Amino acid sequence: MYKFGILGVGKMGGAILDGVVSANIYNKNEIILYTPNELIKNDYLKKGFVFAENEAQLFKESKIILIAIKPQIFDEVLPIAKAFDFENRCILSIAAGKSILNISSFFKNATIVRAMPNLPASIKEGAITVCANKENELSSDAINILSSIGVVRKIKETEMDDTLALNGSMPAYAYLFAKAFIDYAVEKGIDFDVARDLTCAAIKGSMDMILENKDTPIDTLINNVCSKGGTTIAGLNKLYENGFEKAIYECSLACSKRSKELGK
């Protein structure tokens, strides 16, 4: 039996595969893949990976199976899995909106790990939330797999929707935040590359400082940058006056609400 199987080797499935191999979690001969896409298949075959003939072989011969297909085709692709018993095996799903209950309806007796990665996982800088129906060695192994592409945090499944703004959707919000500053600088005549590099470096460094100073309240870090009557406080006051924090709250709330709607 293969230690790790992947159903769907698209952008995220491929990123997790790359992370696993780069981190030496499994060797290529311990991994089996399946996708109906012949171009993707041929590309990975050239790299020395093993492919299953179909979904059934993948389900039958894998210890931990990553489900990396679109949730819209679950009902089309996964019913064949009902023919197998997944006792002492693990299903790792990254399908948005698909609950553990829904996933377990296809995979009898399996340890189910539901995860929400985000786009930076493609460069091994992901922020990933996970929850599971069982705490065991298999679920730990699944979390270890995800750790190869970023930071993993365990949450309750009921928290999946309310954390979505913090990881799954966050890249778009962070990109917009950066873009607004870059656009302002360019309007003032600053070279785009200079504006982009300074903005991204400043944001990344500032976030790293939060993590390096975990016992320091974030409000303290904000105050450390400000001086009375200075440039930073002048800008911050405009953010406060224009409802910046309220806008972020409303953004997070709308993201969570829509996630709950899509999950029904």
pLDDT at residue number 189: 98
First to last CA, the chain: 36
Is the model's pTM score more than 0.85? yes
CA distance 262 to 246: 24
Name the stretches of the chain with pLDDT < 50: none
Q: What is the fold, at CATH topology level, of the domain defined by 170-263?
A: ProC C-terminal domain-like fold (1.10.3730)
CA distance 191 to 193: 6
Q: Specify the pLDDT at position 106.
A: 98
The Cα angle at residue 25 between residues 163 and 144, in degrees rounded to 5: 25
**Beta-bridge partners for 34:** 7
Q: What CA–CA distance (Å, rounded) separates 188 from 190? A: 6
The sheet with strand 111-116 has its strands ordered as: 50-51, 31-34, 2-7, 62-67, 90-93, 111-116, 126-132, 150-154
What is the structure's pLDDT at 263? 74
Return the domain boundaries, the chain. 2-160, 170-263
Question: How is domain 2-160 classified at the CATH fold level?
Answer: Rossmann fold (3.40.50)
The set of residues, in sequence order, having a beta carbon less than 8 Å from that of 252 and lying 6+ positions away, is 165, 166
Give the pLDDT score at 195: 98
How much is the pLDDT for 119?
A: 95
